[in-house]
């Protein structure tokens, strides 16, 4: 089949789902439009027991269907059911998006490379930069380079000076689903000028289905003995702190809600968890398990594998229930969580953190794998 024709097929046809337990897919026509004069579409990928819907606007994960312990399929990521709400969001901006070129925060919306100061948008509290500024990788149309039944490769050229970041950054990202019930993301980037690069993906997982239940009941394990404390605006202090004896110790799996309301300044700052854990890695750059989260009610489990030094765990503390997701349910306080594999926040301004500066001739690589299973 001609590749271009296949790319334009309706999402449901690419999926080829059938049967009484087939996922209720978002219609492809809900995303068939243009943004900034570039075509946008919705693509459906399927392998094993999982079905994934993504759009090339922001490289966003729109829907992700997995079975529970009884075999019931449910959409376990938060999102909107049409392109308009992603372009002009009624609530959270970063649902399911690829974020960058520098994920997380940059203090004082500036950094220095080779004695040159670069100023970037202060889109976080009017002081700091969050997820690449106002028009980060989440807010642009990516070019579709290739698509199959189980994978899609996207490309974006983040131009020199865009949002204040130096260098023409050529970025490739492949989403794939596998027969092992994995959702895998492969990133690669090159630049023609020294620049910071720290890309991640921002799916909000709700293991009981979008808008159902609370993440406080999930069982969490994080392979980390240290984390990076922050100030009141979520900027790291520079300390790499031991988790022993704190609510940040998930080395032994326990309920997320067990200590989330403890009298702890870090938890008060973030109204829960919204912190970077420094992964206890067994190798320098191998793909290793970094965390697991399980919902005892449905049996759904996510194991996260990564080659990155950090993991940002966000417990959905700033959802207020004032907007709804794809199925008309309110997106409530702590009803979903994010598990973002990445370098440490504010790395360009923290000399004791691993560097994220990419120089000409180098290639940035990252692999993140979300593996889905059921625990009975």
Domains, the chain, with CATH or none: 1-214+304-376 (2.70.98.10)
**Contact in structure between 67 and 38 (CB atoms under 8 Å):** no
Q: Give 38's contacts (C-beta < 8 A, 6+ positions apart).
A: 141, 143
Q: Is 202 a catalytic residue?
A: yes
Q: Cα–Cα distance between 252 and 238 in angstroms, integer?
A: 26
Active-site residue identified among 74, 92, 210, 340: 340
Q: What is the DSSP letter of 19?
A: S
Instruction: List helix spans (H) across the chain.
Output: 3-8, 11-15, 83-87, 265-270
3-state helix, strand, coil in the chain (%, to 5): 10, 40, 50
Residue the block writes with tokens 């067990």:
258
Cβ-based neighbour number of residue 246 at 10 Å: 15
Mean pLDDT split into 10-residue runs, the chain, 376 residues? 40 38 93 98 98 98 97 97 97 96 98 98 98 98 98 98 98 98 98 98 96 96 98 98 98 98 98 98 95 98 98 96 93 97 98 98 98 92
The predicted structure's pLDDT at residue 304: 98
- The one catalytic residue in 131, 158, 202, 275 is 202
Q: Please tell me the distance from the alpha carbon of residue 249 to that of residue 322, in angstroms, as a whole number.
A: 32
What CA–CA distance (Å, rounded) separates 3 from 5? Answer: 5
Is 108 part of the annotated catalytic residue set?
Answer: no
> Can the peptide bond before residue 101 be classed as cis, meaning omega within 30 degrees of 0?
yes
pLDDT of residue 376: 77
């Amino acid at each position: 089949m001609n590749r271009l024709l296949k790319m334009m097929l309706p999402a449901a046809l690419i999926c080829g789902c059938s049967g009484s337990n087939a996922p209720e897919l978002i219609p492809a026509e809900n995303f068939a439009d243009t943004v900034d004069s570039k075509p946008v579409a919705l693509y459906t990928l399927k392998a094993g027991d999982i079905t994934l819907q993504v759009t090339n606007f922001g490289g966003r994960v729109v829907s992700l269907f997995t079975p529970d312990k009884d075999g019931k399929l449910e959409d376990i990521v938060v999102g909107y059911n049409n392109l308009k709400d992603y372009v002009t969001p009624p609530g959270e901006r970063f649902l399911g998006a690829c974020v960058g070129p520098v994920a997380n925060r940059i203090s004082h919306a500036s950094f220095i490379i080779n004695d040159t100061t670069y100023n970037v948008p202060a889109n976080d509290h009017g002081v700091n930069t969050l997820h690449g500024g106002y028009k980060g990788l989440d807010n642009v149309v990516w070019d579709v380079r290739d698509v199959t039944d189980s994978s899609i490769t996207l490309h974006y050229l983040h131009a020199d000076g865009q949002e204040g970041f130096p260098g023409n950054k050529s970025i490739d990202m492949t989403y794939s689903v596998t027969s092992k019930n994995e959702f895998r993301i492969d990133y690669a980037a090159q630049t023609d000028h020294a620049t910071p690069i720290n890309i991640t993906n921002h799916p909000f997982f709700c293991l009981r289905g979008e808008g159902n239940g609370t993440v406080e009941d999930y069982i969490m394990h994080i392979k980390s003995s240290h984390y990076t404390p922050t100030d009141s605006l979520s900027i790291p202090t520079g300390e790499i702190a031991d988790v022993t004896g704190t609510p940040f110790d998930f080395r032994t799996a326990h309920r997320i809600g067990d200590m989330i309301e403890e009298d702890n300044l870090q938890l008060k700052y973030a109204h829960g968890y919204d912190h970077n854990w420094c992964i206890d890695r067994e190798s320098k750059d191998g793909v290793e398990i970094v965390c697991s989260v399980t919902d005892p009610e449905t049996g759904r489990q996510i194991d996260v594998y990564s080659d990155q030094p950090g993991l940002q765990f966000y417990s959905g503390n700033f959802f207020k229930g004032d907007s709804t997701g794809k199925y008309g349910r309110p997106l409530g306080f702590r009803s979903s969580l994010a598990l973002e594999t990445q370098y440490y926040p504010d790395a360009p301004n923290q000399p004791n953190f691993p560097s994220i500066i990419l120089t000409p001739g180098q290639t940035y690589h990252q692999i993140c794998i979300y593996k889905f299973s059921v625990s009975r």
